[in-house]
Amino acid sequence: MSIQLDEIDRAVLREMQTDGRISYATLGPRVGLSPPAARARVQRLIDAGVLQVVGVTDPMALGLSAMALLGVTTDGDARTLADEIAAIDGVIYLVLTSGAYDLFAEVVARRPADLLDLINDQIKPLPGVRHVETFPYFGIHTHRFTWEIG
């Protein structure tokens, strides 16, 4: 479902990006709506798939300090392999792409040894995996969940 965003929708999205737990009593006046109208507007954006309200965790705070991006090249259908990789614990982000790699997977583990086990024992042996290149993270420089709504 595709919807046209008006200026009030954009204002709602900007406020929700800043504070996803904002009350409708606070949100409404900030965007020029009554609290019930703000609630209805937020629900419309959720129903349309434009907005998700979620809790974001920090892997480092959870003890998952070994992180990497994996560039995966495949033999065969990348979508089928993506489904298999996505089911592995420790895979937190997976995209289909093109170019040198067919998939990018972001993975997390408690220790570097656990990260090696995840890559060597669970991902590389999957049928259809041709090559995995590992890009370990030494630190997270920017982790952004907001961007200009327009």
Q: What is the CATH number of the domain that holds 93?
A: 3.30.70.920
Q: Are 74 and 129 in contact (CB under 8 A)?
A: yes
Q: Please report whether residue 128 resides in a domain.
A: yes
CA separation for the pair 32, 149 (Å, rounded): 17
Tell me the pTM: 0.76
Residue holding tokens 């070994």?
A: 66
Domain with 31 in it: what CATH number?
1.10.10.10
Domain that holds residue 75: 66-136
Q: Please report whether residue 53 resides in a domain.
A: no
Query: What total number of domains does the chain contain?
Result: 2
State the pLDDT at residue 108: 94
State the pLDDT at residue 131: 97
pLDDT digits (tens, 9 = 90+) for 70-106: 999 999 899 999 999 999 999 999 999 999 999 999 9
Nearest to 31 by CA among 2, 3, 6: 6
Nearest to 36 by CA among 45, 21, 25: 25
CA separation for the pair 42, 16 (Å, rounded): 9
**How does residue 10 score in pLDDT terms, banded at 50, 70 and 90?**
very high
Q: Residues with Cβ < 8 Å from 120, sequence gap 6 or more?
A: none
Q: Are 15 and 30 in contact (CB under 8 A)?
A: yes
